[in-house]
Amino acid sequence: MITRVLFSLILTVLVAGFIYWRVPCDLVLIEFYSKNIRGSLFTGFLTLGGFLLSLKTFIIVKMKENVYDNSEYIKIYERNRKINQGISLYGPLKNLSDLLYWAILSCIVTSVLQFSLGLYAKWWSVVICISAAVFSIVLLLFSLLEIKSNLNKWFELIENTKT
């Protein structure tokens, strides 16, 4: 979980550096951002953060019921627990919950940045706002991958119990 957040931060810094060093004119960047991007980023990330916030509990509860409380999964967990005492029954579910939490928080913070800091006509405010959007997108992609991993476990358990 922490490695994903660190990777997201590093990628965000790289994007910010790219924007800073590669964009030829500050005024063009500021004008393009304020006219074309800021409003869309605000509404998009506010909507996404609210949607994920309302869906987080449903996702976690359904995964717990259908994957982590499944008798087949518990058998696999007990077998693996003999090999590695450090694993937790609900560890992957907690990782998914934490990742969704940080993705939701970053979406809401990104949205707030668009109508607060994004109103300043300075190159650094534009870079910060766009970088926050990149950070949120990377966290959302990691959340999507984690959800896909949990769904794959669920489908494997369904197939194993049907045969």
| Cα separation, 60 vs 67, whole angstroms | 10
pLDDT under 50 in the chain at which residues? none
pLDDT at 148: 92
pLDDT at 126: 86
Q: Residue 87: which of 74, 102, 105 has the closest Cα? A: 74
pLDDT at 23: 59
pLDDT at 103: 94
pLDDT at 34: 87
| Cα separation, 39 vs 36, whole angstroms | 7
pLDDT at 21: 65
pLDDT at 159: 85
One-letter identity of residue 64: K
- pLDDT digit string, tens, across residues 10-52: 777 777 777 666 655 567 778 888 899 999 999 999 999 999 9
Residue 56 tokens read as 């987080």
